[in-house]
Amino acid sequence: MNKHQVLEQVTTLWNTHIAFNQLLGFTITRMDPQESEIRFAWKDELMGNPVQEILHGGVIASVLDMVGGVVAAANIIENLPQLDESIIHEKLSRMSTIDLRTDFLRPGRGNEFIATARIIRKGSKVAVARMELHNEKGTHIAFGTGTYIVG
């Protein structure tokens, strides 16, 4: 397997085996060390404010945490000297978020939502990612910063 194939495999695994992502309807649409992306559609179950009909802040924090984790994982795979399946599996299962900051910029209104993430600090033990959430019209809804254990 080459790196591209590994990224495809992990994408498929995470899209089908992380229960909470399925509950919310999150789909990893790009797992790439440069920039990763998750998309999800509006559904009424994601509503946090019945008067304003907008996304719950927790949905926004969840997708930002997840997409930051995806780009951090893509970087782990990118930097592996060897693509041994058991090492990949072990490394990814031990990955975890240390802290997450979410800045809510505008109400979460839209039909589809696109979360993207890039790495801003690379390290052998810790990676920091910066995330953004937009809707299908390009409205910027939220910023996030996540610190992840990757080593």
Residues that bind its own copies (CB under 8 A): 17-24, 44-52, 56-59, 61-63, 65-66, 69, 93, 96-107, 120-121, 123, 125-126, 128, 130, 140, 143, 145, 147, 149, 151
- Taking the least distance from each CB to its own copies, the nearer of 5 and 22 is 22
**Residue closer to its own copies, measured from CB, 2 or 19:** 19
Q: How many CB atoms lie within 10 A of CB 1?
A: 12
SS3 at position 136: coil
Q: Which is nearer to its own copies, 37 or 104 (CB)?
A: 104
Q: How far is CA 116 from CA 31, 69, 86, 87, 132, in A?
A: 10, 11, 28, 27, 5
Nearer to its own copies, 4 or 41 (CB): 41
Q: Whole-number minimum distance, CB 6 to its own copies, in Å?
A: 17
User: Taking the complex as a whole, how short is the minimal distance between the CB of residue 78 and its own copies, in angstroms?
Assistant: 19
In sequence order, the 6+-apart residues with CB closer than 8 A to the CB of 108 are 48, 54, 55, 56, 59, 60, 133, 135, 141, 142
Shortest distance (Å) from residue 57 CB to its own copies: 5
Nearer to its own copies, 4 or 49 (CB): 49
Residue type, 82: Q
Question: What is the Cα–Cα distance from 55 to 23, expressed in whole angstroms?
Answer: 15
Structure tokens that stand for 146 in this block: 């996540």
> How near is the Cβ of 27 to its own copies at its closest, in Å?
15
Least distance between its own copies and beta carbon 36 (Å): 16
